[in-house]
Amino acid sequence: MKLNYNYDGNIACKRILEDHLDKLKIEYHILGLSQIEINDDVSLETFEKLQLELDQYAIHIINNPKAQLIQTIKDSIVEIIYEKDKFPSTTISQYLSEKLDLRYGYITTLFSEYTYTSVENFIIIQKIERAKKLILAEKLSLTEISYELNYSSVAYLSTQFKKVTGLTPSMFKRIVDKKRLLSKKKIK
C-alpha cells in the first residue's frame, strides 16, 4: 500500500527538539522558529550527545553569530509569509531592518554572501512554497491565495509561480488533482 503524507517542517523540527531535550533532561524554553533558550548549564558531553542525536534529522546547532543572523533573517521571512497577521504593513525590507535593528543593505549583503541567493529571491521561493501548500489544501481560490500572499494580482502570482516551478498555478493544481484521482483508483 502506498501512503501520501503532508507535514509542517517547523512543527516536526520543534517536536524532535522537544523530545531530545526532554530525553536528556535539559530544561529549555522555545523562543521562536529556530531559537531555544537553555535554562541550565549543560555539560560538553550532554551538548555533544544532543548534537549527535539531532544530526540524524539534519538539525544543526548554530554557533557562528553571522550564521545565527542568517537563520534569524530566514525565520523572520518565513514567519511573515506563513502568518498573515504578521505580514508587515510596510515593506518587507523595512520590517526586517526594524526587527533586526540593522541596515537593509547590510542584511542583503550578508544574506547573499552566506546563502548565494538574494533576500528577494528567498522571499519569492517561500511565497511560492506557501502558494503550493494553499493550492494543495483546496480551501482558497487563486485570487484569495494571491491576496493572502500580498501579491498585487493573480497574474503576478502566476508569473512568479511559473518562474520558480515551471508551471502555472492552474497547471500545478491539475497535476495534483490527477495524482489524487489516480491514488484513489489504486486504493479501491
Q: With the CA atoms of 19, 25, 29 and 34 taken in that order, what torsion angle do they form, in degrees rounded to the nearest 10? A: -50
Cα 25 from chain centre:
28
Cell of 96: 526586517
3-state secondary structure of 145: helix
51 contacts 42 by C-beta, under 8 angstroms: no
Q: What is the pLDDT of residue 85?
A: 62
Helices 119-137 and 154-165: crossing angle in degrees, nearest 10, is 100
Please state the length of the chain.
Answer: 188
Reported pTM:
0.72
| CATH top class, domain 119-188 | mainly alpha
Distance CA 124, CA 107 (A): 17
DSSP state of 120: H
Q: How far apart are the first and last CA of the chain?
A: 11
Cell of 182: 489516480
Angle at 143 between CA 140 and CA 144, to 5 degrees: 40
Written as tens digits, the pLDDT of the chain (188 aa) is: 667 777 777 788 888 988 989 998 888 888 776 778 888 788 888 888 988 898 898 888 877 888 889 988 998 898 888 876 656 666 888 889 998 999 999 999 999 999 999 999 999 999 999 999 999 888 899 999 998 898 989 999 999 999 999 999 999 989 988 888 887 777 66
Q: List, in sequence order, the alpha helices (H) in 2-43.
A: 9-23
Cell of 115: 546563502
Q: What is the pLDDT of residue 67?
A: 87
Task: For CATH 1.10.10.60, list the domain ranges present in the chain.
Answer: 119-188
Enumerate the β-bridge partners of residue 35: 32
